[in-house]
Amino acid sequence: MLPIWRWVSTSTSRRRFAEIDLVRGVAIVMMVIYHLLFDLAFLGLAGIPVLTGFWRVFALVTATLFIMLAGISLPISYARRREREVGFDLVVDYAKRGGKIIGFGVCASVATWIFLGEGFIVFGILHLIGTAIILAPFYLPLGRLNIPLGIGFVLAAIPLQGVYGPWWLIPFGIHPASFYSVDYVPIIPWMGAALIGVGIGSLLYRDGHRQFSLSLPENAPTNALCIMGRHSLAIYLVHQPLIVALLLAVAAIVR
């Protein structure tokens, strides 16, 4: 009988690229680590400076990885969808996919509003990725030109620093002075990370085909990360409630 990790690898869909799942799995591990530390600090169980210094940079790198990987994956799905969908049907398809992700984001907003109150998620990473997917048919044809376009989005955040405005501009990176959210990923500058990812994906996976050779090691850690990468959305949705429940249970036992 094959070892479990070899069975998982050989049964993986050929339409997926294992290296993307692997890096996304790494991002998942980074996310769980950061949220564990954040929850420890938020619940007063440990004095970890999660909003400044190293851990702040760690969180930004994690978010950037997720968003860029979402962008890299878009040209691959676009190349495959063009084989069976064109025009308005393609726009509707991406609108449905992006709307589903935004729907999960709204659920996260409601959950954090109930349990956190102040600081609840208004426009977080799921809202951003869902928006990027909805708009995808309009910028995917640009291919690698999305890289300078994405850089433009990132640079656009510079003049917006210290600029405040009404609540309805929150998705665009402008917000009231008193605004705070535990997960704030506005279109400016974060759409830039998605667009840069799209440009990279257009170069590395032209027409949905890998443009380089790669052989990943066949071992348990690699394939475990690939599994997590394939199920990143499900892990994202359930990991926080599980972490909080576990920490509260441990704190109750200790006290």
Q: Per-residue pLDDT averaged across 221-228, rounded?
A: 92
Question: Could you give the CA distance from residue 74 to residue 194 in angstroms, rounded to a whole number?
Answer: 9
Detail the DSSP E strand segments found in 41-88. none
Contact 41, 50 (CB under 8 A): yes
Q: Which residue has the higher pLDDT, 115 or 22?
A: 22
Q: What is the mean pLDDT of residues 130-158?
A: 95
Which pLDDT score, from 0 to 100, does residue 81 have?
82
pLDDT of the residue at 80: 83
**pLDDT tens sequence across 165-183:** 999 999 999 999 999 998 9
Q: Which residue has the tokens 């599994």?
A: 227
Give phi and psi for 88, each to the nearest 5: -65, -35
Tokens of 111: 């959950």
CA 255, CA 253: separation in Å to the nearest integer? 6
Query: Residue 212 carries which side chain, given as an amino acid letter?
Result: F
- What pLDDT band is residue 8 in, cutting at 50, 70 and 90? very low
